[in-house]
């Protein structure tokens, strides 16, 4: 068996690599364990110097790395460059902040617990397994690896099968920066082999970004072994536009929220809930802008929408749209599969949705927007919260009381007011309900894979 790069623009296989044998997997996990034993004894300053070197390397290689990302999963080349640079930024953030985030928490008055001194300290857990997806082949991994290594953990990566070049690049970047061998190492294995890796005594925790079924399987396995896990799963984010919104700004941002990364983002705006008073105005602007997007070869700097990453992903989007069509939905733009090579699907806007349509409850992982006309904020909240997902959300309104209402009532891990959801190293990231549990980024992300140890002294 092998992992392969199938260029989504052409549908042709460009690169293959064999899977690791069980013996090779054992060797690599052993290296990761040894690396952790070294990393945990290093100072924050020593780890930070290495992390900054890794960030410098990534930044210096931005152009060739961006080309690799675009050829592996099809995102427009400018977005690939942005992903690479975002990785470097996050690595520097944790190099600077890790010691502050994990500083001992000293109890000001230890006599309240009959002690002369009382505190809590954070310590690394050990080797952490990361099971990662293809949609952000570097960023999804680095946003885990940066904080994990700065805390003194080591990491092993099981990457998606269609981005082997990204997986190999990540395998090498930390070693080239001077980290102890095995500090972050890639396992080229199949999904069916993940369970046995989780079971290995040296794996102390698991993090997964991916689909809900994958998350359920990995979380269940980790739970059997009583190992902590972080699950960042699917999303069907609500994007609410009220009567008090700046409609043109909302429509412009809604397009970016829906088609960024070719629509293949868990935090993309997918369901657009628009108040009746401004519905026609918003829809006219939104559909016009979606229709005008240039779709084509993502290596072309002028292209705004590239192909879906995989043939299966294209099939899934087609099935969702065709189901909605067959049940009476209105296709306002797009909705027709283009001829020719590659995994292309046009920017599509659909309204007239009814509860029997799959799009109402399922995640559309591609450039397909569902629009709902709502009478008021109560109806908007009802529709926004009716799915099993709860990753992020957006609310557009100039009225502060209205903003506060949605912030309080939207069931999601984040609410962005008059903007679109974006991940920042400074902000905690994660969801609720079927979108998962645990948090990445900020101080929360580095603490997920540390032991909070209480220290009491008489």
Separation between Cα atoms, residue 119 and residue 430, nearest integer Å: 28
Among residues 25, 74, 19, 31, the alpha carbon closest in space to that of 174 is found at 31
Of the residues 72, 83, 87, 266, only one is catalytic, namely 266
Other Cβ atoms closer than 10 A to 171? 18
Alpha-carbon distance values, 359 to 324, 371, 411 (Å): 7, 11, 19
H-helix or E-strand spanning residue 277: helix 276-291
Cβ-based neighbours of 263, under 8 Å, separated by 6 or more: 305, 308, 347, 364, 365, 366, 367, 368
- Spell out the SS3 assignment of 204-252: EEEEEECCHHHHHHHHHHHHHCCCCEEEECCCCEEEEECCCCCHHHHHH
Separation between Cα atoms, residue 265 and residue 253, nearest integer Å: 15
Q: What SS3 class is residue 114?
A: coil
Separation between Cα atoms, residue 52 and residue 93, nearest integer Å: 9
* Cβ–Cβ < 8 Å for 87, 56: no
Question: CA-based Rg of the chain, rounded to a whole angstrom?
Answer: 23
CB-count burial class (<10 Å; 0-12, 13-18, 19+) for 132: buried
Active site residue 266: yes
Strands 450-457 and 117-124: antiparallel
The one-character DSSP state at 293 is P
Active site residue 378: no
* Cβ–Cβ < 8 Å for 157, 174: no
Of the residues 72, 232, 440, 448, only one is catalytic, namely 232
Task: Give the HSE-up count for residue 348: Cα atoms under 13 Å, Cβ half-sphere.
Answer: 27
Separation between Cα atoms, residue 29 and residue 26, nearest integer Å: 5
Among residues 392, 295, 400, 425, the alpha carbon closest in space to that of 9 is found at 295
β-partners of residue 240 are 273, 395
Separation between Cα atoms, residue 279 and residue 271, nearest integer Å: 14
Catalytic residues: 232, 266
């Amino acid at each position: 068996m092998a992992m392969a790069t199938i260029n989504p623009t052409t549908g042709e296989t460009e690169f293959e690599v064999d899977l690791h044998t069980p013996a090779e997997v054992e060797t690599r996990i052993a290296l990761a364990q040894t690396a952790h034993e070294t990393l945990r004894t290093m100072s924050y300053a020593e780890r930070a110097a290495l992390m900054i070197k890794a960030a410098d390397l990534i930044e210096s290689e931005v152009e060739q790395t961006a080309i690799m990302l675009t050829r592996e999963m099809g995102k427009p080349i400018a977005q690939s460059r942005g992903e690479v640079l975002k990785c470097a930024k996050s690595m520097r953030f944790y190099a600077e902040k890790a010691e502050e985030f994990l500083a001992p928490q000293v109890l000001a008055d230890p006599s309240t617990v009959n002690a002369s001194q009382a505190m809590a300290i954070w310590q690394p857990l050990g080797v952490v397994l990361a099971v990662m997806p293809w949609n952000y082949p570097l960023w999804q991994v680095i946003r885990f690896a940066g904080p994990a290594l700065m805390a003194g953990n080591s990491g092993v990566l099981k990457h998606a099968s269609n981005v082997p070049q990204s997986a190999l690049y990540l395998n090498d970047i930390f070693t080239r920066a001077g980290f102890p061998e095995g500090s972050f190492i890639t396992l080229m294995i199949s999904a069916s082999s993940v369970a046995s890796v989780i079971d290995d005594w040296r794996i102390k925790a698991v993090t997964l970004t991916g689909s809900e079924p994958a998350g359920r399987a990995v979380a269940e396995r980790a739970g059997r072994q009583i190992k902590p896990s972080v699950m960042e799963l699917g999303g069907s984010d609500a994007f609410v536009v009220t009567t008090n919104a700046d409609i043109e700004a909302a429509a412009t941002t809604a397009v970016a929220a829906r088609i960024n990364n070719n629509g293949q983002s868990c935090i993309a705006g997918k369901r657009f809930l628009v108040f009746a008073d401004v519905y026609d105005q918003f829809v006219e602007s939104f559909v016009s802008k979606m229709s005008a997007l240039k779709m084509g070869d993502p290596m072309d700097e002028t292209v705004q929408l590239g192909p879906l990453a995989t043939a299966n992903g294209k099939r899934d989007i087609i099935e969702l749209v065709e189901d909605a069509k067959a049940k009476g939905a209105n296709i306002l733009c797009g909705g027709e599969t283009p001829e020719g090579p590659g995994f292309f699907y046009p920017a599509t806007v659909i309204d007239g949705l009814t509860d029997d349509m799959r799009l109402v409850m399922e995640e559309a992982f591609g450039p397909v927007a569902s629009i709902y006309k709502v009478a008021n904020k109560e109806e908007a909240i009802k529709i926004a919260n009716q799915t099993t997902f709860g990753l992020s959300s957006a609310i557009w309104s100039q009225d502060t009381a209205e903003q506060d209402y949605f912030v309080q009532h939207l069931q999601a891990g984040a609410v962005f007011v008059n903007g679109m959801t974006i991940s920042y190293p400074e902000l905690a990231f994660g969801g609720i309900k079927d979108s998962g549990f645990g948090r990445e980024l900020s101080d929360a992300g580095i603490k997920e894979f540390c032991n909070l140890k209480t220290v009491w002294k008489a």
